[in-house]
């Protein structure tokens, strides 16, 4: 997400929140690490082209999943001829959401809406542009990304995991029930 507001970027991003409600079972790899690298490079070039360089651009990664994407985009944009290196920051939308599990995937649009609310807490940006690595569809709000790495139609019950190492699609399997230690009575 690009906007005219910044916060300091931590040098170490938090690990993504594990999925709630089960264990992720990978079904297929949709993008490899090389595919992710190419998509990030393409998005970076599109951002530079649309904004006529990197001057005044601030890349805000959504905490717990989008920070690595903002940092990678900044690195690539810094290497593009004539583009200024954009500022990079982290935007935590957890106070504006009742659920957590943010990643660089556009799904219902509720997280983006929460990000816009959080962004406005810092002031009103001149413009906001949305960049996502994966767009799943299934929108509940009228939100459309400006930059997309891959459109990935999915079922609503499917899960998508995104990292610099690739994009994997799968399902959540219920977590196995914890086994109780045998009691003295059951040991007899």
Q: What is the largest CA-CA distance in the chain?
A: 78
pLDDT digits (tens, 9 = 90+) for 88-141: 999 988 776 544 433 467 778 888 888 888 888 888 888 999 999 999 888 888
Neighbours of 44 (CB within 10 A): 25
Residue 141: per-residue pLDDT: 81
Which domains are assigned to the chain?
31-175 (3.40.50.2020)
pLDDT digits (tens, 9 = 90+) for 11-59: 333 434 444 567 889 899 999 999 999 999 999 999 999 998 888 899 9
CA distance 32 to 78: 24
Residue 182: per-residue pLDDT: 63
Whole-prediction pTM value? Answer: 0.76
The chain-wide mean pLDDT, for the chain, equals 80
Q: Is the pLDDT of residue 2 over 70?
A: no
CA distance 132 to 65: 11
Tell me what percent of the residues of the chain surpass a pLDDT of 70. Answer: 78
CA distance 127 to 3: 6
């Amino acid at each position: 997400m690009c906007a005219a507001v910044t916060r300091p970027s931590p040098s170490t991003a938090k690990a993504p929140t594990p999925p709630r409600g089960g264990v992720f079972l990978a079904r297929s790899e949709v993008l490899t690490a090389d595919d992710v690298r190419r998509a990030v490079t393409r998005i970076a070039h599109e951002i530079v082209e649309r904004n006529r360089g990197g001057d005044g651009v601030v890349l805000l990664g959504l905490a717990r999943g989008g920070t690595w994407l903002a940092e990678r985009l900044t690195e690539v944009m810094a290497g593009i001829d004539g583009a200024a290196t954009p500022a990079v920051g982290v935007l935590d939308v957890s106070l504006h959401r009742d659920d957590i599990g943010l990643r660089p995937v556009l799904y219902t649009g509720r997280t983006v809406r929460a990000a816009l609310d959080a962004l406005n807490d810092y002031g009103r940006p001149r413009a906001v542009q949305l960049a996502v690595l994966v767009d799943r569809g299934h929108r509940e709000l009228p939100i459309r990304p400006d930059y997309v790495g891959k459109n990935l139609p999915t079922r609503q019950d499917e899960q998508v995991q995104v990292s610099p190492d690739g994009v994997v699609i799968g399902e959540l399997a219920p977590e196995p029930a914890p086994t109780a230690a045998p009691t003295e009575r059951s040991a007899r």
